[in-house]
Amino acid sequence: MNTAARINIFRKGLELGGIMNKRLFGKRFTAAAMVATMWILPIAAIGQTQVVAPKNKYKVQDDVREGAKAAAEIEKVFPVLNDRDATAYVENVGRRLVRAIPQQFNQPAFNYRFQVVNASDINAFALPGGPMYVNRGMIEKARNEGEMAGVMAHEISHVALRHATAQATEQGGIGKQLGMLGMILGGAILGGEAGAQLGMLGAQAWMTKFSRKYETQSDILGARIMADAGYDPRDLANMFRTIEGESKGSGGPEWLSSHPNPGNRFEAINREASLLRVSSNPIKITRDFERVQARLRAMPPAKTMAQLEKDAKNGGSVENPTNNGRYSDRVAQPSSRTKNYAGLNWIRISVPQNWREFGSADDVQFAPEGAYGDQGLTHGTMLGIYADQSGNLQQASQNYLSMILQNNAYLRQRNQWTRTTVAGRQAYTTTLSGTSPVTRRTELVTIYMTQLRSGNTVYIANVVPEGESFAYDNTFRNILNSVRFYN
């Protein structure tokens, strides 16, 4: 073999070796890339039960639109807690969870926002497009932040998976389905039962038909969201044990046969957690959780959903009766002529003739035109029974004040309680002030607290912009002097 032939064979060998090396290198690179890809996947995705969003014929904008409409109605009916600290805390936890929604379920058009409902039931519910409501009772009874976050992750999953419009797809009409708030409330962690308790919202039993499938999906996705956000999904499972304990023998929510019971869900979520990569040091007790929980527990007790429904039946509506009014910059001065009011079965009082009356089961409000609307009174008088179990007027007065301040964050107490009399009975009085969100002027609220012979605590509150207080002094004095109690 001549030299040229040897060189040619050598070259072919190099070429062949190069091709083989490239192939081997390619295989090694592909394998390495696969390993690397496994490591860059979200840590909670490995081995997790896969969730597929249900069939949905509606546009994402339909979720957003219907959720916004429902939220406007919800906030007229549910007692949303006006406490900045508690709301900000829940929002912070909510944002952490929203950031952990898997990309395939993340809808940029959705606006996740969070509010606290002043109700004692362990519950939360979410509306299409993102509005979410967390019951105060759920925060108070959670053993750590992880349990609270677990309920929230479950509800966020209902929104992310678009369960409301998916159910409308199955039932055959968004107008029929999403027009019923009960259907939307069916996303609640208790399978819609808390919504069903509020009969005035029209909750329907049929909406539970598909809840097993959707509840299971939300449990699975909620567990993954929790793990990716730094929580332990087992805390969601533990919350179901708490729910089960609260329901036994307490008239709590009944579970319909089509719902997975808390025991089964407890086991299922724990199994799911075993498939996820959970932090070795998950978020449990935090300073913010302890602070907000203590703050809520120190407030006057919240009503249950059942009590709210009862109030609605007794009073005809849980809405503020002044909601249909329109505020005006020009409010007529109080008439010098008066009219008598005898109602509530325990009081008689005289008010200016040009003031309107807005009554319910346990309270009544009086205000002139232009001074009432969806945010209450800007001028006028409110009185009613304050339900308090302390039996002590001074303590009841302080509890009532705490409730007023928590529901009207712009107000501050100007002076300490002082002793006085109302209709010849021992009473306490104090004045609050703050910039009214309606008039943008400093508002004065003077409160009087006294008791009936039955032991019930009575409040009388006079409201007026500080700049007009001089013109109302005689009116408020005459109203107070006219009070007569029947017991």
CA atoms within 13 A on the CB side of 7: 3
DSSP string for residues in 215-228:
HHHHHHHHHHHHHH
Residue 138 inside a domain? The answer is yes
Torsion-angle region of 43 (φ positive above 0: left; ψ -120 to 50: alpha; else: beta): alpha
If asked whether residues 351 and 283 sit together in one domain, one would say no
Residue 310 inside a domain? The answer is no
If asked whether residues 292 and 329 sit together in one domain, one would say no
Beta strand pairing call for 380-386 and 124-126: unpaired
Total of domains in the chain: 2
Q: Which of 277, 305, 333 is the last residue of a domain?
A: 305
If asked whether residues 82 and 231 sit together in one domain, one would say yes
If asked whether residues 276 and 363 sit together in one domain, one would say no
| CATH number for the domain harbouring residue 392 | 3.40.1000.10
If asked whether residues 374 and 472 sit together in one domain, one would say yes
Is residue 139 helix, strand or coil? helix
Residue 1 inside a domain? The answer is no
Q: Which of 270, 305, 340 is the last residue of a domain?
A: 305
Output the pLDDT for position 186: 40
Q: What is the pLDDT along the chain (487 residues), one digit of tens a residue?
A: 443 444 343 343 333 333 333 333 344 433 443 333 333 344 455 567 889 999 999 999 999 988 888 887 777 777 888 778 899 999 999 999 999 999 999 999 999 999 999 888 888 888 899 999 999 999 999 999 999 999 999 999 999 999 888 888 876 655 444 444 433 344 445 443 343 344 434 333 333 344 678 888 999 999 999 999 999 999 999 988 877 776 554 444 433 333 445 457 888 899 999 999 999 999 999 999 999 999 899 877 888 877 776 665 554 444 566 777 889 999 999 999 999 988 777 899 999 999 999 876 568 899 999 999 878 899 999 998 887 767 789 999 998 898 888 778 889 999 999 999 999 999 999 999 999 989 999 999 999 999 998 788 999 999 999 999 999 999 999 999 999 998 7
Residue 222 inside a domain? The answer is yes
If asked whether residues 360 and 460 sit together in one domain, one would say yes
Q: Are 66 and 129 in contact (CB under 8 A)?
A: yes
Task: Cite the beta strand spans of 328-441 per DSSP E.
Answer: 338-343, 347-352, 355-359, 363-368, 372-373, 376-377, 380-386, 412-413, 418-422, 425-435
If asked whether residues 231 and 359 sit together in one domain, one would say no
Range of the domain at 433: 323-485
Q: Are 48 and 276 in contact (CB under 8 A)?
A: yes
Output the pLDDT for position 481: 96
If asked whether residues 331 and 472 sit together in one domain, one would say yes
Residue 15 inside a domain? The answer is no
Residue 91 inside a domain? The answer is yes
If asked whether residues 162 and 281 sit together in one domain, one would say yes
Q: Are 187 and 193 in contact (CB under 8 A)?
A: no
Is residue 355 helix, strand or coil? strand
| Separation CA 214–CA 211 (nearest Å) | 5
Output the pLDDT for position 47: 63
Residue 201 inside a domain? The answer is yes
| Separation CA 77–CA 211 (nearest Å) | 24
Residue 427 makes CB contacts below 8 A (sequence gap 6+) with 393, 419, 420, 421, 448, 449, 450
If asked whether residues 328 and 300 sit together in one domain, one would say no
Residue whose tokens read 């967390």: 134
If asked whether residues 176 and 279 sit together in one domain, one would say yes
Output the pLDDT for position 314: 55
Output the pLDDT for position 221: 96
Question: Would the pTM count as exceeding 0.85?
Answer: no
Q: Which of 262, 277, 305 is the last residue of a domain?
A: 305
Residue 13 inside a domain? The answer is no
If asked whether residues 343 and 274 sit together in one domain, one would say no
63 φ/ψ angles, rounded to the nearest 5 degrees: -60, -50
